Amino acid sequence: MFEKPVIGFVGLGLMGHGIAKNIRNGGYDLLVKGNRNRTPIDSLLNLGAQEIQSPREMAGKCDIIHLCLSTSTQIEATMHGENGVLSGARPGLVVVDTSTADPFSTEALAARLAEKGGHMVDAPLGGTPVQAEAGELSAMVGGEKEVIARIRPVLDCWAASINHIGPVGAGHKMKLLMNFVGLSYGALFSELVVLGAKVGISPQKVHEVLSPSRMGSGFFETFMGYVVERDRESHKFSIENAAKDMRYLNDLAAEAGIVNIMGAAAKHYYTHAIATDHGEDYVPMLSDIVGEMNGIDMDRIVREANEA
């Protein structure tokens, strides 16, 4: 690897743009692969990044490639094939997967990359798009200690805290455990506010009582930011991604031979939401869907409580 490695980036969505911007602002040459949304691409080009046409081309020119994609299916498509990363990989290439992905797929891709003399590091993210733009994300990292130490200066550009969890795949396993908690809360809070509404306790009162208690949390605050204030921007994590993460979590539990009743129950809520065409909605909007399932219009409940 060169003293100042060349960095590639695939996946410039809500989180990816901020990460890539901070890498470029850290003084690294940055190559990006374009997509249909030109806004983040043009933003990075204005900062001096270069655009390339394929992951294969990127692998031939870069020392470290970051991936920030939605699913393992997308990651595998980026890695495999005639124009994939693996087809152009050189010895020493490091692929850093910041996505929330299937750890079994990650382990298989790492083995394929190792055959080319490269290294896979999984570094899924903790934080929000705002934190991504500010370079204040956390990273749960899986991979070889020596490789992580080598790429640490690049990770430091976008991560305020870095935890080495274990070998490759361990970062993605930890991220699924973390999302298991948050997305189960999403289902639980949805039931909570709907049950409260059914028995005459408004979401506003639920928020007022729980927020300062030991059961309050950052997740609760952003979740209730939508429920109580109807702020669609308060908690921007899609139901489609939530369902995917819970599917991976359930697969992880099945592979481990663990009874996973809570995980299965939460997964079914998100699966139902997608089946009823709400995949692009955000997680707190699950409360409206649970309300509909129980004959309750949560928007009306909140509005009437505000007018009382």
Q: Is the pLDDT of residue 29 over 80?
A: yes
Please give the pLDDT value at position 117. 98
What DSSP element (H or E) covers 112? helix 103-115
Please give the pLDDT value at position 2. 47
Please give the pLDDT value at position 50. 97
Domain boundaries of the chain, sorted by first residue: 7-167, 173-307
pTM, to two decimals: 0.94
Q: Is the pLDDT of residue 135 over 80?
A: yes
Confidence of residue 308 (pLDDT cuts 50, 70, 90): confident
Confidence of residue 1 (pLDDT cuts 50, 70, 90): very low
Please give the pLDDT value at position 103. 97
Classify strands 64-67 and 94-97 as parallel, antiparallel or unpaired: parallel
Please give the pLDDT value at position 271. 97
Question: Which structure tokens are listed for 296?
Answer: 């309750």
Q: What is the mean pLDDT of residues 41-45?
A: 96
The yes-or-no answer to whether 7-167 and 173-307 have a common fold is no
DSSP 237: -
Domain spanning 7-167: CATH 1.10.3720.10 = no
Residue 175 a catalytic site member: yes
CATH class of 173-307: mainly alpha
Of 21, 33, 173, 175, the catalytic one is 175
Q: What is the mean pLDDT of residues 135-160?
A: 97
Confidence of residue 37 (pLDDT cuts 50, 70, 90): confident
Per-residue pLDDT tens over the stretch 77-127: 999 999 999 999 999 999 999 999 999 999 999 999 999 999 999 999 999
Does residue 248 contact residue 267 with C-beta atoms inside 8 Å?
no
Please give the pLDDT value at position 14. 87
Q: Is the pLDDT of residue 55 over 60?
A: yes
Q: What is the mean pLDDT of residues 208-215?
A: 97
Q: What is the mean pLDDT of residues 194-222?
A: 97
Packing angle of the helix pair 298-307, 170-198 (nearest 10 deg): 60
User: How does 167-187 read in b/e, with b if 16+ C-beta sit within 10 Å?
Assistant: ebbbbbbbbbebbbebbbbbb
Per-residue pLDDT tens over the stretch 247-273: 999 999 999 999 999 999 999 999 999
Question: What rounded mean pLDDT belongs to the chain?
Answer: 96
Rounded Cα–Cα distance for residues 255 and 105 (Å)? 13
